[in-house]
Structure 1
């Protein structure tokens, strides 16, 4: 009897253990399915049961300082594919994907093979995708033809196309967007986040036949349109600069021309142009050479280094004034000077003879500045140049800025110091030079150059609200105000009596400096024969400058390459136009408060 009870108990325990083991296994499996694999299965279920269509936000506009449109997004259409529905449609209509691709290709001017590939899009896990984008920026006639096909699963919805109001106007500054509408250069890249806005979407659930469930309303998330970016650019001044740069390019058969106009008090860029330039609405027609196109996309004023030549003498002269070195001395120029075994010539091979500090500035005397540089010494000159921002990025709100090249004092010998004093052996960008030049113009304050003025939005009544104002000025005092005034007065004589007389405008009191620098050969590293960069930096009126500008003509053709003949006349014409405009519109309306 006892044995039978034991056997029964044993059997019961075995069954109980088996049931418990089975229960634990089932519980473990359920835990694995419901917890561990839940995200994966949920994703698969969502892909099978839900369809999502993204709705892009309308990209904000780019405006000049007076709210004139420079870039905007135009209403077009996009073609999206609900691939599940299309697969069912093809099955029901006995149509192949190749046949559908051929119909779409004719309308959309696409290759049928490319459309077939899109129709067969798969997910990373290899499963067929539920949706795909067929084409963006489709014009209305084509969109209407697609609708007329009446093929379930092809979704035609509103889209936007980026349009630039004036083709190649300000093209290197504005930049451009890619096929997805994202900024890839210029302002479009720097302020892509503000311009882009936030995309919305439509999500709806579908039954096993891919039809929308009748009891389920689509979930609609409205897109938030991008903000508008107001630039410091004045469209009128920019137009003057664009035309002046193009004329200088053609008249001199130059490699390139770059011009920048600024407000020296606050670092605002009023105009910036590089020629040749791209038509932003049709960049592919500029050149078949992709490297050439990429080069044209660059903003030379921000990204390209150049040896400034004699416009750098402004910096050397400022350093001498600050340290009270050589400003009361006499300089003798016989046409050349020997430093060690190196002979350095003045641009005037006959020499300028006996000169004062002011004379070597107005005559742009290389020999005089070599002597001045040696009197200053490398520590003083290089330290002052660093203080003025050379050898480092300005932090301008445009992409791809270069930092320039400034020698380290430990690697600078007397010949290096001599050439640095008159602007060779140093590389700068236009914005970098202008930040230093502006410090002379505004009384000694370095201010960060910038292109953005405000981030704004407009309500339904077209009333503008400012969301953000530019505030990152990075101001620092780098030069004494009285010394800056003295230097400006010396620079006036460059225009009235010296090498910059072709920039003279009656009654305007322009202070400026010419610069003619040899151009280095990128392959050999040596100066290329017959190639020069001709520049003119100017400010007006000298007593309290409202405008500064820099004109650089790269490799003018022919024997006439001196900046006084090439760049100074361009500056003169621009000063006339800009100050006539200011007189008509009023200083506050043009330059702001």
Structure 2
């Protein structure tokens, strides 16, 4: 009992009265309230500062409930020919819908939905403009509990013109409940038109996961996608509690920026004419791959280019049947064959080692352990003959070209190849460019490169080299863009020719042209002379062109030799033609790989008519001065040099040329270390800029460089420059290009205009 009393006494020892207990509970409740209030304040502060709670973005949830956004598609830039004819243009299509929600009214109470008494008029208009059944339209308009309704397939893909007609008819009837949604599209009005070169677009999902935009997939459309595509805009609308858009509440969250227009150097009439004649050519030969490109000799502009098989840009007909999508112009490398002999002859003349009277036997020539024969001996047409070196070129003698190469010496010949920029990508502005290789490690292969075997090239590399022959020794970078136009600022960037070196003298180039004429006019040895024609196979209005044909074996993909077979089906045929021969305005290069049928007269089906048409249109092409289509646009679009340090010089060069800047890469590493202008500087169209990669081993060809860039080169290398003459461009340099740089302390530079 005593233990029980002690426990009870302890339990009752601190017993409080009712008033004291109420006071204690009150204090506890007060402390709890303060604690909960602090918790609320902290959570409120977190929500206000971060907009998030429990992993949920409350701001986004609120915005989603009370706001909605729509994408305003930027207009993709139009691609034009040189005179302003559209090649690829925006072709936005529309889908029609009708608003049924009675909550969709304006701030003034105007009804913006389809009212019952308007249904007949709507059905009639859509029947007339879209071919919809009136009963179907009415049944859609009578659907219950729908915010809006659409009208199936016939209510989609509406052209802009039809949209305007429908809107006019609705406005006349006072109907406001019909709307349209836009879908981006691309129209190629010319169909088959430099299809591989222009390329096409496809729809790609945007980051919002709700909309799509056009993205360049191939060709120029892909290479210039950033310039063409612009930036989509965003418009925000307020919504009611039930999710209905409030009319008149739109806010532009991001202004759309339309893409820039690209004016190519292509000529629509010449391109169309080339396409027609290529069809005739291919129908006879049926080659695995045929291609043709026409170039302005004085500017380096590509006026027309195509290949077979091809496809229709607009309908995509033929696209699925292509063996591969590669562009023959700049993505396919191959051994060119005898058209390379043009550069061999020009180099030998320039080197002073060409003796046209030197006579030799065509009955075989041995280089180390390899015997080289001429084509007529390999074909069993001859046991050998005696030719002089002038005849050697006209007859396309492999032995004659090897003699020229041997007289120059391997080192000198390789210098000429590098001065013609073989072995290097042109970086003329298109993505995914391939480039050929110069094999300098094998004496036999080096000798064979003199007649176009054992060396690989791309067509764009050959076209660049041919420009030196056609243009007094001055080599031009091929161009395919004449101007860029920015509709947002009414500004433009306009291109001019880009000189990229002078591998041979003017005299060597002009003599080479004369020898090229003999290929078609020499009745005894000329490979393009035809007794059937009574003269040159390739001529323009009866006047012979400067020409050179080629026949080459085709290397296997794995490099293990040449594809097997006999006759045309295992060979690549090609021809280059320049006209007028004494001072070319145009030159054209055509290839034909593995034809089913072949006759040298086939060249007449494509080369002659296209060159004739080019001469007929010469005065209308505007080749002697910059583009005139944008003459009324005086302000230039800005382009600031991005941070290119540590980037690959090739990729940077391509981007700069896309913006009509003229880059020159100096050095041998694969990263840019310095630039001749500061990062962020606005670069003018046709401005020349040096990209220094370091580890420079040989003196570059500085022909055409600005004096400012020569000064920068001197600063970077420590080489003293002594100037002669006046002007701002290099016309001569005292130390030849490809000379080892390690012992060079001083260079004399001659300036001119």
- Sort the TM-score into its range (normalised by shorter chain): 0.7 to 0.9
1:198 has 2:231 as partner: yes
1:29 has 2:43 as partner: yes
Alignment partner, residue 44 of structure 1 = 61
Task: Kindly state the Cα deviation for residue 313 of structure 1 after the two structures are TM-superposed.
Answer: 0.8
1:573 has 2:573 as partner: no
TM alignment of 1:325-474, pairs within 5 A: 325-327=353-355, 330-349=358-377, 350=382, 353-407=385-439, 409=440, 412-456=441-485, 467-471=492-496, 473=498
What are the Cα deviations for residues 43-66 of structure 1, in whole angstroms up to 9, with x where unaligned? 222222211111212323221111
Match of residue 509, structure 2, among 484, 488, 494: 484
Whole-Å separation in 2 of the counterparts to 1:175 and 1:506: 34
Cα pair 1:532 1:555 within 8 Å, conserved: yes
Alignment partner, residue 311 of structure 1 = 339
1:511 has 2:540 as partner: no
Alignment partner, residue 56 of structure 1 = 73
Task: Kindly state the Cα deviation for residue 262 of structure 1 after the two structures are TM-superposed.
Answer: 0.5
Cα pair 1:306 1:429 within 8 Å, conserved: yes
Alignment partner, residue 293 of structure 2 = 260
Whole-Å separation in 1 of the counterparts to 2:241 and 2:474: 71
Task: Kindly state the Cα deviation for residue 395 of structure 1 after the two structures are TM-superposed.
Answer: 1.5
Structure with bigger RCO (C-alpha 8 Å, 6+ apart): 1
Bigger fraction of residues in helix: 1
Alignment partner, residue 219 of structure 1 = 251
Whole-Å separation in 1 of the counterparts to 2:349 and 2:607: 27
RMSD over aligned CA atoms reads 4.2
Q: Which runs of 5+ in 1 are unaligned?
A: 1-9, 86-106, 109-133
Q: Normalised by the size of structure 1, how large is the TM-score?
A: 0.77
Instruction: Give the direction of change, closer, same or farther, for the CA distance of 1:438–1:589 in structure 2 (3 Å limit).
Output: closer
What are the Cα deviations for residues 252-310 of structure 1, in whole angstroms up to 9, with x where unaligned? 12112100001122211000011111111221x426xx5x4472x43211111121100
SS in 2 for 1:447: coil
What are the Cα deviations for residues 28-50 of structure 1, in whole angstroms up to 9, with x where unaligned? 43443332444932222222221
Instruction: Give the direction of change, closer, same or farther, for the CA distance of 1:568–1:521 in structure 2 (3 Å limit).
Output: farther
What are the Cα deviations for residues 546-568 of structure 1, in whole angstroms up to 9, with x where unaligned? 1011011111224x46xx54436
Alignment partner, residue 668 of structure 2 = none
Cα pair 1:520 1:528 within 8 Å, conserved: no
Task: Kindly state the Cα deviation for residue 80 of structure 1 after the two structures are TM-superposed.
Answer: 9.6
Q: Which runs of 5+ in 2 are unaligned?
A: 1-23, 103-130, 133-151, 171-176, 204-212, 530-536, 629-753
Instruction: Give the direction of change, closer, same or farther, for the CA distance of 1:400–1:315 in structure 2 (3 Å limit).
Output: same
SS in 2 for 1:32: helix
Structure 1 range deviating more: 320-329 or 423-432: 320-329
Instruction: Give the direction of change, closer, same or farther, for the CA distance of 1:547–1:174 in structure 2 (3 Å limit).
Output: same
What are the Cα deviations for residues 425-448 of structure 1, in whole angstroms up to 9, with x where unaligned? 111111110100001111122221
Whole-Å separation in 2 of the counterparts to 1:458 and 1:17: 67
Instruction: Give the direction of change, closer, same or farther, for the CA distance of 1:467–1:591 in structure 2 (3 Å limit).
Output: closer
1:139 has 2:158 as partner: yes
Cα pair 1:398 1:451 within 8 Å, conserved: no
Whole-Å separation in 1 of the counterparts to 2:438 and 2:28: 87
Alignment partner, residue 91 of structure 1 = none
Q: Normalised by the size of structure 2, how large is the TM-score?
A: 0.62
Alignment partner, residue 175 of structure 1 = 199
Task: Kindly state the Cα deviation for residue 424 of structure 1 after the two structures are TM-superposed.
Answer: 0.7
SS in 1 for 2:70: strand
Cα pair 1:230 1:455 within 8 Å, conserved: yes
Task: Kindly state the Cα deviation for residue 482 of structure 1 after the two structures are TM-superposed.
Answer: 1.8
What are the Cα deviations for residues 498-533 of structure 1, in whole angstroms up to 9, with x where unaligned? 212311346645212111111223366433323111
1:247 has 2:261 as partner: no
Whole-Å separation in 2 of the counterparts to 1:225 and 1:592: 23
Task: Kindly state the Cα deviation for residue 340 of structure 1 after the two structures are TM-superposed.
Answer: 3.5
Whole-Å separation in 2 of the counterparts to 1:346 and 1:245: 31
